[in-house]
Structure 1
Amino acid sequence: KKLPTLKYFWLHSDTITSAYDELVVPLLHRMPNLEKLDLYLNVIERKTFFDGNDLKMNIINYMPQLNKFTFNICSLSSFYNEINLPSNEDIQKTFRDFNNKEIIYWADYFPERRKGHCRIYSYPYKWKYYDDITNHFPGKIFIYVRSISLYDERPFEHEFFLRIAESFPLMEELFVRNQKQQINKPIEKSKKLSIIKYPSLKQRFLNNTCIDYHEQFLFDTKTSLPFNVRVNMQYGLVKQVTHNFTSNTTRSNCAKINFANLRKQMKFPEYSDDFSTGKELFRKHIKDYFPHTQID
């Protein structure tokens, strides 16, 4: 059944769908008089990535009254590999007729997962979240984004984090997933790095990372954390990075943390149970190293 009186439609879904062509497209075809359309979708296992031709053929041509179309579509597919990933130049050509000021497209291939990854969105970017940023992230400024996640099967170097901090000046949450060791660390030791600042950061999650990213965020020669930040880190890696909670290089950033989720990875003798109070008592040198931190 058609929806001829509908003028504005907003569809945001964080849930991954494999039924875009079967469910979403037919739904949009029921809205011939739509004037504004806002889409935020995560699509998997589609045989083709999204481009301007696809959006025109499946959406825009069915909505002659459409005058504002904002979208953010991420797709992950095993039908693509490093050889047949469409280039940024080819994709950009398909958006020549769009009214949007700018369309951003970038693609990646994850060899371990054997999947191609593509993200395409209208700019300026209006959403509060930006997930699964890789090394191919093209940059620009995102003033509305408050939460981001980083993921790649290639290492994130210091310059990448600098670019992230510049692109997301009001970022409050940062999730990092990367088990690949940084390649440029030996080179970085011989030169003075730009210290990265995250002035609005409130929470940082490093649970699924290797030791290099604990160093990246705790070394004061690389990062200056804001005060009262909450962190999720792996206790064993924190212990190594801080040289058993004695290093001066990490002391200043650790002193700025007001909550650290470490306890579930801690084992005797680093803490002990006080059965009379029901509280776990951390050794004094750990508490001294995190003077303002609630450790959980």
Structure 2
Amino acid sequence: ETPLTRLLQDKITSLVIDTILSEDTFTEETNTQSKTFLLYSERDTDKYNELIVPLIYRMINLEELNLHLVVYCEKRFIDDYDLKRNIISHLLQLNKFVFNIQSRLPLNDQAYLSSNEHCQRSFNGFKNNKIISCVNYFPDRKEGHCHIYSYPYPAKYYEYITNNFQDGLFKYVREVSFYDERPFEHELFIKIAKSFPFMEKLTVYNNKPQMNKFDERSKDDNRHLSVIQYPYLRLLDLFDAHDDYAEQFLLEFKTCLPIKLDLHVYFSTLRRVTHNFTC
């Protein structure tokens, strides 16, 4: 036993790890006596059961736990059942649990796939803050996504918003991305502007054209009255988006953007949307 080992075991009561998870992330000397533990990783990991769960098993004195993870699963999403069985039941002194967990699952003709409604209902008896869940399936990618988080949402990033996005106020979020295999309509962007009032970066991944486009000259469509404003937006990335979304953001009767904005878009898209820069 070294002096450093004794320090890790006896002196540190709060441990924060911001890392790419691997076999070498945690060792036997990783402090397991901490009362506060935050684990943050933006990269996908398939080592949830091999690395993270065993570590938490050893941290029996935890009073506060923060998990921010993206997990690649084989058979089922990480849901309330998993959190209760693998985490909460082992931490008897835990009184605060904040989490933001995205789990991804390959679609391989599973007999049962959890629905968004079922996943949300499963958290009704969860002894924590309000829990939000969002389940989506993407046939083209042959992949399912499940996003569960405690609310209020503490992170600065909210990734892969879909058409199933629920209302809420996310005042700490600065970077947002969209992804879906169904088109995004004007009403969703209105909702996003209200939910993320301080958003600075927005990325759209969607190659599907909008189905409910409207025209500025239409007298039968009141949506032209709902001009969307993103007052703090600094970067808009449309490289992986259909032309309709460039139109959604660049036409002034749909969206009002700040004067100083970094716009990432193909020149050919810009020419088409602006009719060769005539509008």
Deviation at 1:110, TM superposition (A): 0.4
TM-score between the two structures when normalised by the length of structure 2: 0.83
Q: Which amino acid aligns with 1:219?
A: L
2:255 is the counterpart of 1:223 = yes
Q: Which amino acid aligns with 1:116?
A: G
TM-aligned CA distance change 1:4 to 1:212, over 3 Å: closer
Write the mapping of 1:112-191 to structure 2, written as runs, cut at 5 A: 112-185=140-213, 190=218, 191=221
TM-superposition CA deviations, 1:108-164 (whole Å, max 9, x none): 110101111110000000100000111111121100000011111111111111111
1:88 & 1:129 partners in 2: Cα distance? 22
TM-superposition CA deviations, 1:26-84 (whole Å, max 9, x none): 11111001000000110113311122121010011111000000001101111477983
Select which of 87, 91, 94 maps to 1:63.
91
1:131 & 1:74 partners in 2: Cα distance? 9
8 Å Cα contact 2:238/2:245 also seen in 1: yes
Equivalent residue for 1:20? Answer: 48
Deviation at 1:5, TM superposition (A): 2.4
Q: Which amino acid aligns with 1:173?
A: K
Q: Which runs of 5+ in 2 are unaligned?
A: 1-27
Q: Which amino acid aligns with 1:236?
A: S
2:45 & 2:32 partners in 1: Cα distance? 26
Instruction: Give the number of aligned pairs.
Output: 247
Q: Which runs of 5+ in 1 are unaligned?
A: 248-296
1:141 & 1:11 partners in 2: Cα distance? 24
Q: Which has the larger radius of gyration?
A: 1
2:186 & 2:203 partners in 1: Cα distance? 16
Deviation at 1:187, TM superposition (A): 7.7
TM-superposition CA deviations, 1:70-103 (whole Å, max 9, x none): 0011011114779833233422343344332310
Q: Which amino acid aligns with 2:47?
A: A
Select which of 133, 138, 149 maps to 1:110.
138
Deviation at 1:230, TM superposition (A): 1.2
TM-superposition CA deviations, 1:205-261 (whole Å, max 9, x none): 0011111011001101100111211111110010111111111xxxxxxxxxxxxxx
Equivalent residue for 1:205? Answer: 237
TM-aligned CA distance change 1:46 to 1:83, over 3 Å: closer
2:109 & 2:138 partners in 1: Cα distance? 8
Q: Please give the secondary structure, in 1, of the residue aligned with 2:190.
A: helix
Select which of 236, 239, 252 maps to 2:271.
239
8 Å Cα contact 1:135/1:160 also seen in 2: yes
2:274 & 2:208 partners in 1: Cα distance? 20
8 Å Cα contact 1:85/1:107 also seen in 2: no
2:76 is the counterpart of 1:48 = yes
1:4 & 1:130 partners in 2: Cα distance? 30
Q: Which amino acid aligns with 1:54?
A: D
Q: Please give the secondary structure, in 2, of the residue aligned with 1:29.
A: helix
8 Å Cα contact 1:13/1:42 also seen in 2: yes
8 Å Cα contact 1:73/1:119 also seen in 2: yes
1:210 & 1:10 partners in 2: Cα distance? 38
1:83 & 1:199 partners in 2: Cα distance? 46
TM-aligned CA distance change 1:184 to 1:82, over 3 Å: farther
8 Å Cα contact 2:179/2:205 also seen in 1: yes
8 Å Cα contact 2:177/2:202 also seen in 1: yes
Deviation at 1:186, TM superposition (A): 5.4
Q: Which amino acid aligns with 1:131?
A: E
2:114 is the counterpart of 1:86 = yes
8 Å Cα contact 1:3/1:32 also seen in 2: no
Indicate the percent of aligned positions where both proteins have the same amino acid. Answer: 49
